[in-house]
Each structure stands twice: as C-alpha cells, then as structure tokens.
Amino acid sequence: MSDLLEKKCAPCEGGVIPFDVSEIHKYQKKVDGWDVEKDKDNIFFLSKKFKFENFLKSQDFVNDVGKISEDEGHHPDISFGWGYAEVKVTTHAIKGLSENDFILAAKIDKILSV
C-alpha cells in the first residue's frame, strides 16, 4: 500500500483502457478490505464499509474523505449514517477501475490509521 500512498491521482478524461481482471486483482492486494464489485452495467468498482461509534464520527470520516478526494481530483460515491459509511470508487470516465481508484482507496484507509 505504501507505494500507492506516495502517488497522486492522474487526471483522467477517458481514452485510457480500464484495468482487466488480472490487473484489478494485482492492485486489490495493495489495499486492505476493499471489495471489487460490478454495478448493473457490469462496470467494476471498489467498495468498502466502515463502522463508527456514532453519527459524528461517521460524518467526520466522510468530511476527511471529501478533503482527500478534492486534493486528488478523484471523487467516490459515499453514503453514511449513524455509525457507518460506505465508499464506492471507480473511474467514471473510463467505466472501470484504474490505478487512481486504488490510490484513493489507500489514502482513504490512511485516515483511520492516523
């Protein structure tokens, strides 16, 4: 994971081929606890659920994710409520996963280890 933490998300406006399954599995080993799923359109994304003691801690986490996302220029889908947050990451411009998604996942995990 440390190599991902050293990287910055690269701007992506399409024209790049999304990772294939073997590349996804190679990168998935670098991030802890993130699931690889497909949506209804068969687009791969990373997903992880986080648990917290109360609503405020969930909200603080989501705000921290928002700051990192803005810094990286790569924005996940987030849902949260009392005691939980769920983050889903994909590269919308290429309709699949790229290195950016794994960089962002690693940086989101770092929030909880600080």
- pTM confidence score: 0.92
Residue 10 falls inside a structural domain = no
Residue 75 falls inside a structural domain = yes
Give the per-residue pLDDT at 2. Answer: 63
The single-letter DSSP state of residue 94 is G
**Antiparallel, parallel or unpaired: β 35-38 and 44-51:** antiparallel
42-65 residue pLDDT tens: 999 999 999 999 999 999 999 999
Residue 1 falls inside a structural domain = no
Residue 8 falls inside a structural domain = no
- Encode 27-80 in three state secondary structure: HHCCCCCCEEEECCCCCEEEEEEEECCCHHHHHHHHHHHHHHHHHHCCCCEEEE
Give the per-residue pLDDT at 6. Answer: 85
Q: How far, in Å, CA of 101 to CA of 8, rounded?
A: 11
Give the chain's domain count.
1
Which two tokens mark 46?
Answer: 């990373």
Q: How far, in Å, CA of 9 to CA of 29, rounded?
A: 19
Residue 3 falls inside a structural domain = no
Residue 9 falls inside a structural domain = no
CATH number at residue 88: 3.30.1360.20
Residue 7 falls inside a structural domain = no
Residue 69 falls inside a structural domain = yes
Range of the domain at 44: 19-113
